[in-house]
Chains A and B, each alone.
Chain A
Amino acid sequence: MQWEVVIGLEIHVQLATKTKIFSGSSTAYGADANTQADVVDLGMPGVLPVFNKEALQMAVKFGLAIDAEIHHKSVFDRKNYFYPDSPKGYQTTQLYYPTVGMGHIEIELEDGSTKRINVTRAHLEEDAGKSVHEGFGSSSGIDLNRAGTPLIEIVSEPELRSAKEAAAYFRKMHSIVTYLGICDGDLSQGSMRCDCNVSLRPKGQEEFGTRAEIKNVNSFRNVERAIDAEIERQMDILEDGGTIVQETRLYDADKNETRSMRSKEEENDYRYFPCPDLLPVLIDEDYIEAVRQTLPELPDAKRQRYISEQGLSAIDAGVLSANRSLADYFETVAETINDYKLAANWVQGDVSAALNRLEVSIEELAVSAEQLAYILKLIKDNTLNNGGAKEVFNALLEGKGDDTVACIDTLVDKLGLKQVSDTGAIEAIVDEVLANNTKLVESYLATPEDKRAKAIGPFIGQVRKAAKGVNPQVVMEVLKKKLSEL
């Protein structure tokens, strides 16, 4: 039996607002339990919600980025269920009238082709608190710091056909939301969580099979692994002639399998109705246009531009455009020195290596984009050669400079890296080297002409020993000239 895999993802994205969706509490990560939960977040009697302006803007921004319909009227509904991390006994969400309607994104498949995946809708809702089940003996501890954090829930059409496609979709969404600056994308902190709906159907059948939902998968890798594990599980059952139970499951990364969750929502009757404490959210075309003006260039467009306008390779373009902060850094450098290729080499090379080695983010790197641009300018105007540039770069990383561009000049002087380019000066150095290395000269002259290019090497070495910062092109020219005169 040939099976077709059908996957739909529901991604919960925590919006990077300063405060919660309905209260003025901070959303900063890592605070002590319940120190960022005010009366509204605690669901105290008598409290009322007021909607965060920034959360709306971020949702609309997202909708525009995925080319979606933005609804002029959206309504918050109450989804009623009991669970200790849900203090009001209902979650405020948007069922009937979400802010964002049908949209789409493109994902890159392994063979290099792209596939369009449609997004059914994206709606605003509030996050629940956290439950801690260890450390309190026979109790669970409830922390409501997270309760009320704004989320958008992005629902895909069931158009994904493999675990790899699902992972690519998740990655792409991650790239988009971090690009837009609406989410910090920190999966380890739970900024994005993914629920995976997986089902199988005989190839050719139109009707969907029964699906299982794997909840709260929190890394790209785990999305792929969890779905693969679930496909295997379902395939085993179906091939044995069994049936799939519609249920929610959790992925166990250690055992690489999914297991059934003791469902917290056994009765699925959520009794949705419009929240009477909130009024319909009404936005007009002017508002949407104003948000559109704040959209940055998105990853796909940026990648295309790097390739077609700047001549970067597809791979380089892909890496440099994947992360907004890196792209911003790269572009600042590239635009300042007006040389995308040189900037690409350095950002892909020395900068990326430094980020990995020092385990810092691009924002934390001790060499700012302006500073790197200055260093590269010094290469371009022959003040520094490559080696010298790397030395300055590393010196900055080691904290030997400060955050100014001016300190680079100081370092160049201090480290004696200024490259000599003056032909006269170099001629003098070369003359000396040739005079002091008669054996080498003899050996060179004895080498057949067609093999002489290689034989220049030792002379370059000697020149470098004599004067550290020398312009290699000029050295080469002078050496060739002088040697040919011998």
Chain B
Amino acid sequence: MALDPKQVHDIAELVRLQIEDDQVQEYQENLSNILEMVNQLTSFETDNIEPLANPIEIAQRLRADEVTAVNKRDHFQSIAPQTEQGYYLVPRVVE
């Protein structure tokens, strides 16, 4: 299941990663090998098998609608890369 360089770049863009030109081949090979290993999954019959998403198989528990959080903005923003007047800053986004 070989991936070509364009596919590698497309996937990288989806997840906001940049693969340098000199690394593309290595990624191509590694990813293709992994996909080949994973392809064994296509070899078995799966009709009527209920997928298992979570091992404990219980229902979602519900939380009471009560405010429990307190304002800790300063604490949280002390580790932020860039803030101003309580906002997180990023390069200006044009919509």
Binding site for B on A (CB under 8 A): 17-19, 23-26, 32-39, 42, 44, 50-56, 82, 84, 131-133, 136-144, 250, 261-262, 264, 267, 269, 271, 274, 276, 278-282
B67 contacts A139, C-beta separation under 8 Å: no
Instruction: Using A18-B66, A25-B69 as known contacts, say yes or no to A140 and B90 having CB atoms under 8 A apart.
Output: yes
Tell me the minimal C-beta distance from B57 to chain A in angstroms.
8
Please, which residues of chain A bring their CB within 8 A of the CB of B14?
A: 267, 269, 271
A267 contacts B13, C-beta separation under 8 Å: yes
B59 contacts A52, C-beta separation under 8 Å: no
A84 contacts B90, C-beta separation under 8 Å: yes
For residue B76, CB closer than 8 A to chain A, the reply is yes
Q: How far is the CA of A170 from the CA of B80 in the complex (A)?
A: 40
Please, which residues of chain B bring their CB within 8 A of the CB of A36?
A: 69, 71
Interface size class of B (residues with CB under 8 A): 35 or more
B84 contacts A281, C-beta separation under 8 Å: no
For residue B44, CB closer than 8 A to chain A, the reply is no
B89 contacts A140, C-beta separation under 8 Å: yes
- Interface bits B32-62 vs A (CB < 8 Å: 1, else 0): 0000000000000000000001101011111
What 5 pairs between A and B have smallest CB-CB spacing?
A141-B87, A24-B68, A54-B65, A53-B62, A38-B69
A139 contacts B69, C-beta separation under 8 Å: no
B92 contacts A264, C-beta separation under 8 Å: no
Enumerate B60-94 residues with CB–CB distance to A below 8 Å: 60-69, 71-73, 76-77, 82, 84-94
A17 contacts B16, C-beta separation under 8 Å: no
Residue of A nearest to B62 (CB): A53
Please, which residues of chain B bring their CB within 8 A of the CB of A269?
A: 14
Q: How far is the CA of A24 from the CA of B65 in the complex (A)?
A: 7
Q: How far is the CA of A46 from the CA of B85 in the complex (A)?
A: 27
Please, which residues of chain B bring their CB within 8 A of the CB of A281?
A: 59-60
B93 contacts A274, C-beta separation under 8 Å: no
Q: How far is the CA of A314 from the CA of B85 in the complex (A)?
A: 53
Tell me the minimal C-beta distance from B78 to chain A in angstroms.
12
Please, which residues of chain B bring their CB within 8 A of the CB of A23?
A: 69
Instruction: Using A133-B92, A142-B90, A250-B95 as known contacts, say yes or no to A279 and B85 having CB atoms under 8 A apart.
Output: no
Tell me the minimal C-beta distance from B49 to chain A in angstroms.
16
Please, which residues of chain B bring their CB within 8 A of the CB of A26?
A: 67, 69
Tell me the minimal C-beta distance from A218 to chain B in angstroms.
15
Enumerate B12-27 residues with CB–CB distance to A below 8 Å: 13-14, 16
Selected contact of A53 from candidates B65, B67, B86, B90, CB within 8 Å: B65
